[in-house]
Amino acid sequence: MLEFLTLLSRRWRVVTAFVILGIAAAAVLTNQVQPSYRAQAQLFVAFASSDDNAASLSQGSLFTANRVKSYPDLVNSPLVLDPVIAELGLDVTTEELAGRVSAEVPPNTVLIEVRADDSSSARASEIANAVAANFITVVEDLDRIRSSDPSPVRVSITRPATAPGSPRTPIPALNIAVGLFAGLGLGLAAAAVREALDTTIKDENDIESATGLPTLAAVPINPDVGQTPVLTPATAAPVWSESYRKLRTNISYLDPDNPPRTLLVTSALAGDGKSITAANLAASLAQSGRRTILVEADLRRPTLSKLLGLVPDVGVTTVVAGRAEAAEVTQRFGDFDVITSGSIPPNPSELLGSQAFRQIVQQLRETYDNVVIDTPPLLAVTDAAVAAVAADAVILVTQARRTKKPELLKALYGLRAVDANVAGVVLNRVSGASGSYYQYTSTRPARTDRKRARRSSAQG
C-alpha cells in the first residue's frame, strides 16, 4: 500500500491526465453515438380447447409450454417482418429489421416478450406492436391442421408496447464511469511504467539506495531565489533558509569532535545548483558566528561573482600565479568573505591540482574557521576530483527529478578514485508537495566515505 501511495504521489499528474482523457473520450463517444430506444410488447399464449375436463386442460397446458419455446424464432422470419415493413413503410430490408427485433420466453411461463430497437422512440413502439400483431396471425395460422380449422393456440397481447422515455443506449452515466475507470487503469499502468523507467533521483530514499550516502539537506524550490539567491536573517522563505541551516548542522555532526573545516561543493551535472548551495552554506556558517570564506574554484564557467555581484577580474588564478596574496583579492559579501575565480586559465585542472592551490587552501584554514570551495561539475571535467584532495569533506549536490542515478554514481566513483571523503548529498529543488524537506530528524554518525564503500561492497 505504501508503494502504491508513493507511486500516486509521484505520478499523480500522469494518472490524472489519463482519467481526464478517459472521461473526455467517453463523453465524445456518448455524444456521437446515435441513441437507440427499445420498446417491448408482451404476449400470452393459451391452448384453445372445447373440452373442460382435467385431463384435457393438463394436456393443453403441457402442449402450450412445449410449443411456446419455439415461437421466439418466428419473430425474425419474413412471414412476420415483411408485413410489418409494408404496413409501416420502413426503408429497411427483412435482414436489417430482423437485427433490430427479438423475442424471449421468460423461464417457466407461457409469455413472450417482443422487443424492437430503433433510433426513434415512437417508431420503436410502432414496430414492436406491429411485430406482435403479425406474430399472432402467423402463429395461429401455422398451428392449424387445415386452413378451415380453428387454431388450437390462442395468442393475446397482454401489454402493448409504449414509446420509451429514455434511450437504451448510450447511457451517459455508465459510459462516463467506464471512461473514468478505464482512464484510471491506464493511468496507473502508465505511471508504473514511467516509474520503472525513471532513473532520476526523486527523494532521500533514492539517494540512500543508489549511493549509501546520507542526505545532508533537502532544499525546496524557492521561487524568489532569482531576487535573493543567498539567505539572510530577513529571507522571506523560511523553509528554504532552514534547509541550509540544517545542512550546516548535519555537517557539524559528521564528526562532532573534529568537524570538517574545508568543504568542497560539487555536482554531477551543470545546473544542479552547486554554486548557490556553496554560497548559502557559507552564509549559514557565517551566521552561526564562524569566520567563513567562499572560494570560487570553478575556473571554467564561474558564476559566483555574478551571483553575488562581485568583481571577477582577480581571484584564485591571480593568487596561484603569484601576482597577489589571498588577502589582496578577498572581497566581502554579507557576513562572509569571497575569493572569486579571477581570469579563466587555459589549464584549470592543472592549476587546481597544483601545490600552490593547496597552499592557498591551507593558508585560508589558518585564518578562517571554514573554507567553502565551489568547483565544476564532476561529469564534465576532472577539476572537482583534483581539488577534492585539498578538502576535508566533499558535498555532492543533485537536483531532484533531474539528476539520474547512473550520473550520480559516476560522479561518486570519480571522487572515490582520488580517495575523497564524500560527506553526503544535498537534494536540491525538492517539490514542496512531497514534503521531503521537512524530514531532518535523522543524522548519520560520522564515518569516512571509505567505510561506506566497504559496507556497500559487502552488501553487494
What single string gives the DSSP state of each residue in 285-338?
HHHTT--EEEEE---SS--HHHHHT---SSSHHHHHTTSS-HHHH-EEETTEEE
348 exposure class (CB count in 10 Å sphere: 0-12, 13-18, 19+):
buried
User: Chain centroid to CA 362: how far?
Assistant: 49
Domain total of the chain: 3
pLDDT of residue 56: 47
Segment 205-216 shows an average pLDDT of 93
Q: Is the pLDDT of residue 440 over 60?
A: no
pLDDT-derived band at 241, boundaries 50, 70, 90? very high
Answer yes or no: is 308 within a domain.
Answer: yes
* Residues of the chain by 3-state class (helix, strand, coil), percent to 5: 50, 15, 35
pLDDT of residue 142: 84
How many other C-beta atoms can be found within 10 angstroms of the C-beta atom of residue 424? 24
List the CATH number of the domain containing 81.
3.30.70.1130
- Please enumerate, as own/partner, the contacts of 80-85 that have beta carbons within 8 Å and a separation of 24 or more: 80/131, 80/134, 80/135, 80/138, 81/131, 81/134, 83/130, 83/134, 84/127, 84/130, 84/131, 84/134
91 and 188 both lie in a single domain? no
Q: Is the pLDDT of residue 55 over 60?
A: no
pLDDT of residue 16: 92
Instruction: Among 159, 186, 218, identify where a domain stops.
Output: 159
294 and 413 both lie in a single domain? yes
215 and 358 both lie in a single domain? yes
244 and 349 both lie in a single domain? yes
Q: For residues 456 and 192, give the distance between their C-alpha atoms in angstroms, rounded to a whole number.
A: 28
72 and 153 both lie in a single domain? yes
Q: Is the pLDDT of residue 114 over 60?
A: yes
Q: Is the pLDDT of residue 91 over 80?
A: yes
Whole-model pTM?
0.65
435 and 319 both lie in a single domain? yes
Answer yes or no: is 347 within a domain.
Answer: yes
68 and 82 both lie in a single domain? yes
Answer yes or no: is 208 within a domain.
Answer: yes
pLDDT-derived band at 2, boundaries 50, 70, 90? low
Max CA separation in the chain (angstroms): 133
144 and 216 both lie in a single domain? no
The domain of 76 spans 37-159
pLDDT of residue 455: 40
Share of the chain above pLDDT 70, in %: 88
Range of lowest pLDDT (8-22, 111-125, 270-284, 391-405) = 8-22
105 and 24 both lie in a single domain? no
pLDDT of residue 101: 95
Q: For residues 429 and 437, give the distance between their C-alpha atoms in angstroms, rounded to a whole number.
A: 10
Answer yes or no: is 166 within a domain.
Answer: no
Judge whether 273 and 267 are in contact, CB under 8 Å: yes
307 and 444 both lie in a single domain? yes
pLDDT digits (tens, 9 = 90+) for 395-409: 999 999 899 999 999
Q: Which helix (H) or strand (E) holds 353?
A: none
20 and 75 both lie in a single domain? no
Answer yes or no: is 146 within a domain.
Answer: yes
pLDDT of residue 385: 95
pLDDT of residue 432: 61
Instruction: Among 134, 159, 184, identify where a domain stops.
Output: 159
List the CATH number of the domain containing 362.
3.40.50.300
Answer yes or no: is 165 within a domain.
Answer: no
232 and 145 both lie in a single domain? no
Q: For residues 333 and 347, give the distance between their C-alpha atoms in angstroms, rounded to a whole number.
A: 28
Answer yes or no: is 104 within a domain.
Answer: yes
Q: Is the pLDDT of residue 350 over 70?
A: yes
pLDDT digits (tens, 9 = 90+) for 378-431: 999 999 999 999 999 999 999 998 999 999 999 999 999 999 999 999 999 998
pLDDT of residue 454: 41
Q: For residues 437 and 237, give the distance between their C-alpha atoms in angstroms, rounded to a whole number.
A: 13
Q: For residues 112 and 132, give the distance between their C-alpha atoms in angstroms, rounded to a whole number.
A: 9
pLDDT-derived band at 61, boundaries 50, 70, 90? low
Answer yes or no: is 49 within a domain.
Answer: yes
pLDDT of residue 60: 52
pLDDT of residue 453: 40
Distances (CA, A) of 292 to 44, 279, 333, 339: 100, 11, 11, 11
Rounded mean pLDDT of the chain? 87
pLDDT of residue 50: 52
Segment 91-106 shows an average pLDDT of 93
Q: Is the pLDDT of residue 449 over 60?
A: no
